[in-house]
A and B are shown apart, each in its own frame.
Chain A
Amino acid sequence: MNIDSIKNGFVIDHIKAGKGMEIYRLLKLKKLSCPVAMIMNAQSFKMGKKDVIKIDSDINLNLDILGYVDPDITVNVIKDSVIVEKKKLELPEKMTDIIFCKNPRCISSTEQELSHVFTLADRGRRIYRCIYCDAEA
């Protein structure tokens, strides 16, 4: 399978096999008009199988989303077909309108135009809670 190397953009590598589509959806890559390659179940020495996403455009990539899905993902920044930076991911302290509160008793289920905001409650256990009702994400 041949996928052209990209000139300017990002390679999101070492995604756990099966998680690629979730990242595609959360990053709203469907809305991009540039070439986007989703490679699923690629071979990996480290992981056995992995997913990879290549984006051939210098978009404003939301690293918080990637950090939330899996902080072990690697993000390579490509400029003129060369890797110029490897971004280090961290669990974001706060996420706005990335994940949504499912608690039917939460004010976010009824209040008009209210952003869904989650904060990191426990870094060790990777637990996020809704700022309004404390429900776990």
Chain B
Amino acid sequence: MRHLIDILELSVNELDELISTACDIIENGEKYAHKCAGKKLATLFFEPSTRTRLSFEAAMYELGGNVLTMADAGSSSAAKGESVADTAKMISCYADIIAMRHPKEGAPLVAANNATIPVINAGDGGHHHPTQTLADLLTIHREKGRFNDLTIGLCGDLKFGRTVHSLIGAMTRYKHIKFVLISPEELRVPDYVKNIITDAGHEFIETTSLEESMPMLDILYMTRVQRERFFNEEEYLRLKDSYILNVEKLNNAKEDLVIMHPLPRVNEISVAVDNDKRACYFKQALYGKYMRMALILKLLGIK
């Protein structure tokens, strides 16, 4: 039985298979409409994340399956003192597959070690968020047509931004990738993530300037400076507006730049940018649903 806790558990070949299934779903959706008939997905969300939960639920419904939701798990089972291990054992009695989000890092791994059904990590604190990375990879595949020879700018909260860490981990497995890490000093990429880049033989540049980096980028991945990742409110207020993408900053960007964002956006991308053909973040959310469909099929062993 397979789980998905960290994107790196999937080989490059398996990623290719998932992408190819997702592309087939995009082209021939009707073929997949009843693939999961009679199966149930349990979405266990111990911290609020409406969009990821809805994406999973939409994915399961489009496969003809059903959904059990514990949207406020944090205020039910956990509040009563139930361990993650017990929750996983209990849900295994009711559902066929689990998607779990939890504020504690490693909670989905604990669930996977105790469940008798596949567990998908839908985000664990500031740690992993593999299905967001699946969405990101399908976006890159569909919009750039390749995974090699890319200069990828990552901008915003690179310290706590789990989507950034997962995407870096996934992209280091391809060839000739250059990372441009754009963040305030306080929110730089942790050293262990930089080691992953250099150990894989890729280059990275650290900078505080979004504008100066813009002309070299093939992909710009914007992230939100998240209030919940700060211990200190003052720090949050000081840094939250540091890196805002607007139409002016895009003047010296490449014509075929792909602008990505895991969403939700607060104000780090001005609404006017949405009309630019290079803005791909809403498509990215749609691609996320297709990749979740492909993943559910894979983990349930349905062809």
Interface residues, chain A, with chain B CB atoms under 8 Å away: 103, 105-112, 114, 122, 129-136
The answer to whether B85 and A133 have CB atoms under 8 Å apart is: no
In-complex Cβ contact of A133 among B83, B84, B127 (8 A): B127
Residues of A within 8 A of B110 (CB): 107, 111, 114, 132
Residues of B within 8 A of A106 (CB): 104-106
Please measure, in the bound complex, the distance between the C-alpha atom of A44 and the C-alpha atom of B105, giving whole angstroms: 45
Residues of B within 8 A of A132 (CB): 105-107, 109-110
Interface residues, chain B, with chain A CB atoms under 8 Å away: 83-85, 102-107, 109-110, 124-127, 192, 195
The answer to whether A107 and B107 have CB atoms under 8 Å apart is: yes
A106-B104, A107-B104, A110-B104 as given contacts; A131 in contact with B109, CB under 8 Å: yes
A131-B109, A132-B109, A136-B192 as given contacts; A107 in contact with B84, CB under 8 Å: yes
A105-B125, A111-B85 as given contacts; A133 in contact with B106, CB under 8 Å: yes
Most A-side CB within 10 Å, residue of B105, B107, B110? B105
Residue of A nearest to B125 (CB): A105
Residues of A within 8 A of B124 (CB): 107
In-complex Cβ contact of B102 among A107, A131, A136 (8 A): A107
Residues of B within 8 A of A122 (CB): 195
Residues of B within 8 A of A109 (CB): 104
18 A–B pairs (Cβ distance < 8 Å), ordered by A: A103-B105, A105-B103, A105-B105, A106-B106, A107-B107, A107-B124, A111-B107, A112-B83, A112-B85, A114-B85, A122-B195, A129-B192, A131-B109, A132-B106, A132-B109, A133-B105, A133-B125, A134-B127
Please measure, in the bound complex, the distance between the C-alpha atom of A106 and the C-alpha atom of B128, giving whole angstroms: 12
Please measure, in the bound complex, the distance between the C-alpha atom of A131 and the C-alpha atom of B112, giving whole angstroms: 13
The answer to whether B106 and A107 have CB atoms under 8 Å apart is: yes
Please measure, in the bound complex, the distance between the C-alpha atom of A29 and the C-alpha atom of B66, giving whole angstroms: 56
Residue of A nearest to B199 (CB): A122
Least Cβ–Cβ distance between A92 and chain B, in angstroms: 20
Please measure, in the bound complex, the distance between the C-alpha atom of A88 and the C-alpha atom of B109, giving whole angstroms: 34
A132-B105, A132-B106 as given contacts; A105 in contact with B126, CB under 8 Å: yes
| Further contacts, 17 of them, CB under 8 A, given A105-B104, A129-B192, A135-B105 | A105-B103, A105-B105, A105-B127, A106-B104, A106-B106, A107-B110, A107-B124, A109-B104, A111-B85, A111-B107, A112-B83, A122-B195, A131-B109, A132-B105, A132-B106, A132-B109, A133-B127
Least Cβ–Cβ distance between B192 and chain A, in angstroms: 7
Residues of B within 8 A of A112 (CB): 83, 85
Residues of A within 8 A of B106 (CB): 106-108, 130-133
In-complex Cβ contact of B192 among A103, A110, A134 (8 A): A134
Residues of A within 8 A of B192 (CB): 129, 134, 136
Please measure, in the bound complex, the distance between the C-alpha atom of A110 and the C-alpha atom of B104, giving whole angstroms: 9
Please measure, in the bound complex, the distance between the C-alpha atom of A131 and the C-alpha atom of B108, giving whole angstroms: 12
Residues of B within 8 A of A129 (CB): 192
Residue of A nearest to B82 (CB): A112
Please measure, in the bound complex, the distance between the C-alpha atom of A129 and the C-alpha atom of B192, giving whole angstroms: 10
